């Protein structure tokens, strides 16, 4: 998960993944929000804000832990509920790490359980508006960036 303020490059870094892999992006906040995720190679939650309408907290914890989860699917199109495999990589961006609020207070235990399931990166520097450029995502450039970064380590 990459967190940080607006215009710091969070989406820019991850968007090329959607060109390389069959992707499920940003579930709707409806009863059947995750239809399509069961066949995706990756899940990309861009500018993600958790809510119970999207997925129960405990199901998200299980998915990120690598467990199978069952989510509702419209019975007019599917014979059974969706089964999401915990082997599908999940990438996310957001302003802050995910936090569970219960009764108006942060649930420290649940929030810690969520935090340990993500490899978290924090971007801090915003790109000033006059320096921003429209650069389309390119899968090949992203692949080279990852390979070169891995070789440098």
pLDDT tens digit string along 100-114? Answer: 999 999 999 999 999
Q: What is the CATH number of domain 2-152?
A: 3.40.50.300
pLDDT of residue 50: 93
Q: Which of 45, 44, 59, 42 is nearest to 100 (CA)?
A: 59
Position 121 scores a pLDDT of: 95
pLDDT for residue 119 is more than 80 = yes
Higher pLDDT among residues 131 and 30, named by residue = 131
- Least confident range from 3-12, 26-35, 56-65, 92-101: namely 26-35
13-48: per-residue pLDDT in tens? 999 999 999 999 988 777 778 888 889 999 999 999
Kindly state the average pLDDT of the residues 72-90. 83
Nearest to 37 by CA among 74, 1, 88: 88
| Highest averaged pLDDT of the listed ranges 14-23, 27-36, 64-73, 76-85 | 14-23
In the chain, domain spans:
2-152
For 80, counting Cβ atoms within 10 Å of its Cβ (0-12 exposed, 13-18 middle, 19+ buried), the class is exposed
Query: Residue range 82-97: average pLDDT?
Result: 91
What is the CB-side half-sphere exposure of residue 114 using CA atoms within 13 A?
A: 20
pTM: 0.87
Residue written as tokens 């969520």?
A: 114
């Amino acid at each position: 998960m990459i967190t940080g303020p607006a215009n710091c490059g969070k989406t820019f870094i991850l968007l090329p993944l959607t060109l390389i892999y069959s992707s499920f992006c940003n579930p709707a906040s409806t009863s059947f929000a995750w239809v399509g995720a069961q066949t995706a190679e990756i899940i990309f939650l861009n500018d993600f804000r958790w809510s119970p309408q999207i997925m129960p907290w405990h199901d998200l914890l299980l998915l990120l832990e690598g467990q199978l989860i069952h989510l509702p699917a419209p019975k007019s199109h599917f014979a059974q509920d969706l089964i999401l495999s915990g082997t599908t990589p999940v990438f996310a961006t957001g302003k802050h790490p995910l936090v569970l609020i219960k009764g108006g207070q942060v649930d420290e235990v649940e929030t810690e359980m969520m935090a340990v399931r993500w490899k978290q990166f924090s971007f801090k520097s915003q790109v000033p508006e006059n320096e921003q450029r429209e650069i389309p995502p390119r899968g090949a450039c992203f692949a080279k960036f990852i390979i070169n970064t891995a070789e440098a380590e």
